[in-house]
Amino acid sequence: MMRNWRASDAERQAILDKLQYAVGEGRITMAEFEQRAVAVWRSRTIGELDELIADLPHSLW
């Protein structure tokens, strides 16, 4: 299952890009972004990364 696969640095960066876009759209605060950004770099799997953007609409990207 892909969710258990190890996340790459490129996948982490893609999540950060999505979170930055969400800040620009006013969907999350800068404080939320900072918390999630720390969690992005601590994440080991794709599933952990997915959880960090699960509450954001997929139409943002």
39 or 2, higher pLDDT: 39
Q: Are 48 and 7 in contact (CB under 8 A)?
A: yes
Q: What is d(CA 22, CA 3) in angstroms, rounded to the nearest whole number?
A: 22
Question: What is the average per-residue pLDDT within 5-20?
Answer: 97
Question: What is the average per-residue pLDDT within 14-34?
Answer: 97
pTM of the model: 0.90
